[in-house]
Each structure stands twice: as C-alpha cells, then as structure tokens.
Amino acid sequence: KQEVTQIPAALSVPEGENLVLNCSFTDSAIYNLQWFRQDPGKGLTSLLLIQSSQREQTSGRLNASLDKSSGRSTLYIAASQPGDSATYLCASYYGQNFVFGPGTRLSVLP
Amino acid sequence: NAGVTQTPKFQVLKTGQSMTLQCAQDMNHEYMSWYRQDPGMGLRLIHYSVGAGITDQGEVPNGYNVSRSTTEDFPLRLLSAAPSQTSVYFCASSYFAGTEDGYTFGSGTRLTVV
C-alpha cells in the first residue's frame, strides 16, 4: 500500500524567504506526482505535475523535483509572498488513483 | 466556466438520513472520483469511475454508494448518515486514469451529521 508523508506539517516564514516543502512516498512504482495548493475552505488547485520519467517541473516561482529511487519530491518556492499562505499537498499517482499526503500548512508573514 | 461542479456546498443531516452529493463535469473526462478530507488525514478515496457504467471502491467505501450513468455526472449517495461521515467531500476528474494532465477538483461539499 502506498503511503505519502509530508514534512514539515506546518511552516511559518517571513516574506521573501526561499523555502522547501518535502514529500515522501513508500512505493516508487508511481506514474506521476502532483502538487496542489488548498486555501482555507476551498478546493484544490493544481500547481505542478511531474511525470515519472521527468526530474523536475517549473512554473514561475515554483519548482518541483522528483526522485523516484529515493521516494521523494520537493516543492521549492522562491521569494515567498503572503499570498503563498495556504496548505500544500502532494499526491502520487499509484495504481489507478492518487494517494495524497496530509499537507504542509504554510504561513508567510509580511 | 468549464470545470467540476459540486452541489450543495454545505449540508447538515441528522443521523440516519440519506442524501446525494452531486458532481458534474463538462470537460468530457472519463475518470471521476470522490474523496473525503478530514483534519490531519489528507484526502482519502471513497469511490471512483473510469467511465460511464463502471465504478469501483476506494480506500473508505463503507456507507457510500455511487453510480455513473453518464460521462458528465458522478453522484455520491449516503445511505444512512452517521456522525463519522462528517467531513469535506471533494469530487475530482481527469481525461482518463493516469493522465499526464492530472486531476481537476471541485470546490467541495462540507457535510455535518448531527
């Protein structure tokens, strides 16, 4: 059974800092890995999707990497802003469905 | 706007009542799924469908029923609501299982069972 964990569970940083969110999965036989953002009381917004054959994806200030052999993915956020405050979830596509991590709650202080 | 539409957004039920959570998408996606989100536990898969007429169970299917009579709609039925089903429910869809485009999520239904 695939299990996905995320470290840290919560993170508070001052505006402008670069930060890294970590995602680990137990079974490396994944098809892809997706990072989502969730604002309080809202649904999930897709940020980046990395195919199993890829090493990283970039979108603006966001960069996600994937290391299947070690069962890890990282989401790098450059020059953080208060508007980045949200919960970030990773999900590994395994079998026929996504398996989600519990999320990292990020607060960026002005 | 194209996307995944969930109704209602909020619902309060009494223990033992039944209800249907609606999910509709207009993107011609074959794959649809239902998740529940509970504090500290992430999203857990309830049921999913890879196309009209085909459904299967996920991680936590007990107490829920689904059907997929059309490509667009994937309703989730609570047969006899219990307080343990208090949660936020999300519907998600994609072109097909394992698509490189990933999932599109609805905005969720917040359900409270008293």
Q: What is the pLDDT of residues B55-103, one digit of tens each?
A: 999 999 999 999 999 999 999 999 999 999 999 999 999 887 666 667 8
Q: Cα separation of B90 and B64, whole Å?
A: 14
Amino acid at B114: V
Q: Cα separation of A92 and B42, whole Å?
A: 13
What CA dihedral angle connects A94, A97, A102 and A107, to 10 degrees?
Answer: 100
pLDDT of residue B41: 77
pLDDT of residue A89: 95
Please indicate whether, in this complex, the C-beta atoms of B101 and A45 are within 8 angstroms of each other: no
Whole-number average pLDDT of chain B? 92
**Does position A96 have pLDDT exceeding 80, yes or no?**
no
| Nearest-by-CA chain A residue for B97 | A96
pLDDT of residue A43: 86
Give tens-digit pLDDT for A15-57.
999 999 999 999 888 888 999 999 988 889 989 999 888 999 9
User: Looking at the complex, does the CB of residue A51 fall below 8 Å from at least one CB of chain B?
Assistant: yes
pLDDT of residue B98: 62
Residues 6 or more apart whose CB falls under 8 angstroms from that of A60 comprise none
User: Looking at the complex, does the CB of residue A32 fall below 8 Å from at least one CB of chain B?
Assistant: yes
User: Looking at the complex, does the CB of residue B54 fall below 8 Å from at least one CB of chain A?
Assistant: no
H or E element at residue A4: strand A4-7
Chain B window 61-90: which residues touch A at a Cβ cutoff of 8 Å?
90
Residues 6 or more apart whose CB falls under 8 angstroms from that of B82 comprise B15, B63, B113
User: Looking at the complex, does the CB of residue A89 fall below 8 Å from at least one CB of chain B?
Assistant: yes
Chain A residues whose beta carbon lies within 8 Å of the beta carbon of residue B35: 100
pLDDT of residue A42: 85
| Nearest-by-CA chain B residue for A96 | B97
